[in-house]
Structure 1
Amino acid sequence: MSVTEFAAAQWTRAIGAGVDPHEYQRVTDGLTSVTDWGPAFLRTGHSYLRRAKDADSSRSTGEYLLMAARWFHLATLAPYEEAPRAAAEADHALSRALTVLEPGARRVSGEGFTGWLRGPSDAPGTVLVVPGLDSAKEEFLDLVSALLDRGLAVFALDGPGQGVLAATTTFAPDYERVVGRAIDVLGVARVGLVGLSLGGYFAARAAALEPRVAAVATVSGPFRLDWDELPAPVRDIIARRAGGADAAQEFVRQVDLTALAPRIAAPLLVVDGDQDVIPGVTNGRSLARLAPHGTYLSVPHGDHLLGNARSDWLPRLSDHIAHTLMGTQA
């Protein structure tokens, strides 16, 4: 794949993550190959660190640091040897930003997970945001903001093989255990779950097997994966994150919600984009149909992660989680 094709494929994902589209265009226009991607995005992230250092207010400092975190995370999307460093820099920039902007935010870590708990200590509900194949807690800051704006507490995490933990851990097929340990550490009785891309599978699986999940939503999540249909770049990412080719194929064989979907007791919203063209990922309609309280939202013009259609699903998803956890009606 040429760098032009790669940049086009990541376009709506990057914009959905919150970077300026014009800056994205300027940065990617200057690339001559995919190997230039990581270094260029790292340089852009460092430019925001410099602006943060020179900012005239703590608010501006924090906002620049959040933007740096986004660019550092996006630097990890193309394979290169500095990807672990970029993930670590994204994690550090987010940590610095929240320390400045939200003194009440709390770093929470446990076996197989780490992230930031944000929102009021007396919030009427707590939501876990679960990333996917090569995403991380720094990618979904707009989703976190939407949930915070509805009065909820939000714990956006990196799990095994994800984000800052990708360099030292591998994917955990039994992600419900990760969710369960996080709930234990957070000390709450019930949670909402939002999972994005592969995180949608993780969230649905956890909702089926962890009784403290009271509300759940998935975005572009696979109902089932087929190794032979997955494109080579996706198989390569899974192999890196799962710990090798054999482990990757075994992991993919376990990604199947046929038997688990009927066990999801919590109200479930499944969001899909009709323009999602990743082969090997079956449509989420089956998940919504098999879940006892499933609702299916299909956005005709939405792509994978629906970064090109945020207004078509983000408010509805946020309301679904908030109303379910708070016991109110939409």
Structure 2
Amino acid sequence: MHFIDQPDVLAPFVEGNRSRAFGAGLDPFAYERVTGALRSLYDWPAAFRAVGGRLVEDAERYAAEGRTVSAGEALRGAARWLHVSTLLPHPDAAAMADAARAADRAMGRALALTEPSAVRVEGASFAGWLRRPAAAGPAPVVVVVPGLDSAKEEFHAVAEALLARGVAVCAIDGPGQGVMAAALAPRADFQRVVGEVLDALAGRPGVDVSRAGVLGLSLGGYYASVSAAYEPRLRAAAAVSGPYRLDWEGLPLFVTDTLTRRCGGVREARAFARRVDLTDTAPRIGCPLLVVEGGTDDIPGVTGGTALAAAAPDAALLSVPHGDHLLGNCRPEWLPRTADWLTARLAPAA
């Protein structure tokens, strides 16, 4: 049985994604209205895409009236809603890919209106946006890496927190994520993707790649950790709700179904899950590492980040006892501290 076909799965999925949706910036009242009208998870993608589409229409009307700020805000909202429409392991892969592309376009249009200094950065294995702080001079840069079913459009608050502290941000979709999901399967050796991003950033105005860090969320926490172990240019890393190890047999159906669809088959998904294991990698992490965990984030089949914090040579653990997965229910208790921690470690050498 596929995840979406389980009986009585709608209500738990709506509840389980509530704090994640709010953390991504969706209006909570709109989320309740949209999800309250659903009769099946099969209807989730279209319902969320409809909100995104209406926001795009609003943006076009605002732009025609010369209201650039309102147009940009509406397009950012559209990007969020369009992305959240893709969270399910839905059988209509073409519709999921269309929504991911629409989210990417909306974010690009929003940045063009409100932040024209933002630059599209692409490579063979990634696509993203480089955003630089207002202060003059080369800034340190953090690569923001999403997780299994997330994308660069989800973590606006993370990017804004770093930009406010004078740090440039390159938020990306890598293999299996966002606009790259239809073309490339997830890969466990994500240090190669981060290396490609740093190569693409080198020499760009306003960016000091010698002061580079990485911040990964959910499965992106594993990606950040493995990159910190094998990409020597990284000076600091943060892993938020990231796995230390995956056990396929224990994983919930949502995770195995999502992995199967994004990897291209059960055999490929199992092979990928086996490689998500930091047991031998954690001791190799040579830069400072911050591990951020929610105390209520207990996913079957997933060994959490506490083990990573214990195994990495220079690691600190920030645990919020009531935090859930991605800590969307307690952002003020981890995001400012994480942004400050990264900023301090990417500061110029004394």
TM range (shorter): over 0.9
Deviations 1:175-199 (A, max 9, x none): 1000101101100234110000000
CA distance in 1, matches of 2:297, 2:265: 27
Deviations 1:244-296 (A, max 9, x none): 11011011111111111111111111001111131111121111111111000
CA distance in 2, matches of 1:195, 1:221: 8
CA distance in 1, matches of 2:230, 2:160: 28
Amino acid at match of 1:66: R
Q: CA deviation at 1:327?
A: 4.6
Q: CA deviation at 1:124?
A: 2.6
1:90 pairs with one of 88, 103, 107? 103
**2:42 alignment partner in structure 1:** 35
CA distance in 2, matches of 1:173, 1:243: 15
**1:68 alignment partner in structure 2:** 78
1:154 pairs with one of 163, 169, 180? 169
Q: CA deviation at 1:240?
A: 1.2
2:289 pairs with one of 268, 273, 289? 268
Q: How does 1:171-320 map to 2 (within 5 A)?
A: 171-187=186-202, 188-320=209-341
Matched, 1:4 2:4: no
Deviations 1:60-90 (A, max 9, x none): 1000000000000000012141111111110
Q: CA deviation at 1:21?
A: 0.5
Q: CA deviation at 1:2?
A: 2.8
CA distance in 2, matches of 1:190, 1:282: 30
CA contact (8 A) 1:38 1:80 kept: no
| Larger CA deviation: 267-276 vs 67-76 | 267-276
Q: How does 1:110-149 map to 2 (within 5 A)?
A: 110-120=123-133, 122-149=137-164
Output the TM-score relative to the length of structure 1: 0.97
SS in 2 for 1:115: strand
Amino acid at match of 2:339: S
SS in 2 for 1:157: strand
CA contact (8 A) 2:132 2:139 kept: no
- Percent identity between the aligned chains? 51
Output the TM-score relative to the length of structure 2: 0.92
SS in 1 for 2:17: helix
Q: CA deviation at 1:218?
A: 0.6
SS in 2 for 1:326: coil
Residues 275/328 of structure 1: CA separation in 2 closer, same or farther (3 Å cut)? farther
Structure 2 unmatched ranges of 5 or more: 1-7, 203-208
Matched, 1:169 2:151: no
CA distance in 2, matches of 1:53, 1:4: 34
Amino acid at match of 1:201: Y
1:59 pairs with one of 31, 47, 69? 69
CA RMSD in angstroms, aligned pairs only: 1.3
CA contact (8 A) 1:123 1:151 kept: no
**2:3 alignment partner in structure 1:** none
CA distance in 2, matches of 1:122, 1:279: 46
Structure 1 unmatched ranges of 5 or more: none
Deviations 1:200-238 (A, max 9, x none): 000000000000010100110000000000011210101
**1:26 alignment partner in structure 2:** 33
1:106 pairs with one of 89, 107, 119? 119
Amino acid at match of 1:99: A
CA distance in 2, matches of 1:39, 1:58: 28
CA distance in 2, matches of 1:251, 1:183: 24
SS in 2 for 1:278: coil
| Larger CA deviation: 65-74 vs 256-265 | 256-265
Q: CA deviation at 1:129?
A: 0.1
CA contact (8 A) 1:62 1:101 kept: yes
CA contact (8 A) 2:103 2:153 kept: yes
Deviations 1:84-105 (A, max 9, x none): 1111110000010001111110
CA distance in 2, matches of 1:126, 1:192: 6
